[in-house]
Amino acid sequence: MEKLVQCLHWKEYQGLNGWVMFCSAGAFAKQLSKEEAKQCGCTIAQRATCKKIMESNLGYGLVPDILEGKKAATQEQKAASEL
């Protein structure tokens, strides 16, 4: 079966009770910068579509947070300093 959403964060697999479809970035509370979101096609319209698909299959849906420029840089610096 062809994936419904063409995105590197979108996961689909056949479970015991049917298809499971979700955004791994949203599921693991990943925060994307505007540039990262643009590169993977995570637009406002696409996020609404993804959330609708997840809600119809799983009963709920989580999409990643999109951070503004300075906030994203701060998050990246914080993550790098923890390593």
Q: What pLDDT is stored for residue 6 in this prediction?
A: 86
* Overall average pLDDT of the 5-26 stretch: 91
Report the Cα–Cα distance between both ends of the chain, in Å, rounded. 39
Length of the chain (residues): 83
20 φ/ψ angles, rounded to the nearest 5 degrees: -115, 125
20 inside domain:
yes
Residues spanned by the domain of 36: 10-82
How many structural domains are present in the chain? 1
pTM for the model stands at 0.72
- Whether residue 1 lies inside any domain: the answer is no
Dihedral sign (CA 40, 41, 47, 53): negative
| Assigned domain for 5 exists | no
Residue 4 lies in a domain: no
| Residue 55 covered by a domain | yes
pLDDT tens figures, 34-74? 999 999 999 999 999 999 999 998 899 999 999 976 555 55
